[in-house]
Amino acid sequence: MLHIKCPHCGLRSQNEFSYGGDATVKRPELNKEVSDQDWDNFVYLRKSPRGKHLELWQHISGCRQWIKVERDTLTHEIFKTLKANEEV
């Protein structure tokens, strides 16, 4: 079980969090023309890197904040955790 440092609450066990996928995906802006390709990429296509990955987690059993976690998908090492509005 991972040990994740919530930037709001501190170190907590993984079972307080829920996983939210790739944090680098950016939703196309509202009311803007989006090509089929770009939209498909946004909705469906995700990289599955072996190694460093910036991902979203939500502290659902805690402060309910969505946070960013930089984690190694191979070793599970967590390098950094960030608030939703912070960049790496």
Partner 1 sequence: MSENFRLDKGGLINRNKKISFNFNGKKYFGYEGDTLASALIANGVHLVGRSFKYHRPRGFFGAGVDEPYAIVQMNRNNEVDPNVRATEQDLFEGLEAKSVNCWPNVDFDIGAINNFLNKFFPAGFYYKTFMWPKSFWYKVYEPIIRKAAGFGAASIKHDKERYEHKYEYCDLLITGSGPSGLASAYAAAQNGAKVILAEDKSRFGGSLLTSEVTIGNQSGQEWAEKIISELKLMPNVVVKNRSQVFGYYDHNMLVMSERISDHLPKTKKYSPKQRLWYIRAKEVIISSGSIERPLVFGNNDTPGVMLSSAAKEYLKIYGVLVGKKPLIFTNNDSGYETAIEFKKNGIDPIVLDTRKNPNSEIIKEAKDLNINIKFSYVVVAAKGYKKVKSADIAKISEDKKNISNIENIQCDCICVSGFWTPTIHLASQSGNKTKFNEKIDAFIPSQSKQKETTLGAANGIFTLEETLKTSFKKGSELSKQITKEDNKVSVPTVVEKKSSNHDKFWCVPLPEGKNYKRFLDFQNDVAVSDIQLALREGYRSIEHVKRYTTLGMATDQGKTSNLNGLQMVSDVENKVVPQVGHTTFRPPYTPVSIGAIVGREIGKHSKPTRKSPMHYWHEKNNAVFVDAGVWLRPRYYKQGNENLFEASKREAKNVRQNVGVCDVTTLGKIDIKGPDSAEFLNRVYTNAWLKLPVGKARYGVMLREDGIVMDDGTTTRISENHYHMTTTTAQAANVLSHLEYYLQLVWPELNVNVVSSTEQWAGAAIAGPNSRNLLKKLFPDLNVSNEGLPFMGYMEGNLFGVNAKIYRISFSGELAYEVNVESDHGNYMWEKIMEVGREFNIQPYGTEALSTLRIEMGHVAGSELDGRTIPYDNSLDGLVSKKKDFIGKRSLSKTAYITKDRQKVVGVIPLDKKTSIPEGSYIVKDAKAKLPNPKLGHVSASCWSVEYDNPFSLAIIKDGKNMIGQKLFAMSPLKNKIIPVEIVSSHYVDPKGERVRS
77-to-18, 26, 36, 45, 80 alpha-carbon distances in Å: 17, 25, 36, 24, 9
Q: Contact 17/25 with Cβ under 8 angstroms?
A: no
Which CB, 39 or 49, lies closer to partner 1?
39
Q: Does 81 bind partner 1 (CB under 8 A)?
A: no
For partner 1, the binding residues in 40-79 under the rule CB under 8 A are: 42-44, 56, 58, 60, 64-66, 75-76, 78
Which CB, 19 or 49, lies closer to partner 1?
19
Maximum distance among all Cα pairs of the chain, rounded to whole angstroms = 42
Among 13, 19, 45, 51, binds partner 1 (CB under 8 A): 13
- Per CB under 8 A, residues contacting partner 1 are 1-3, 13, 18, 20, 27-28, 30-31, 34, 39, 42-44, 56, 58, 60, 64-66, 75-76, 78, 84-85
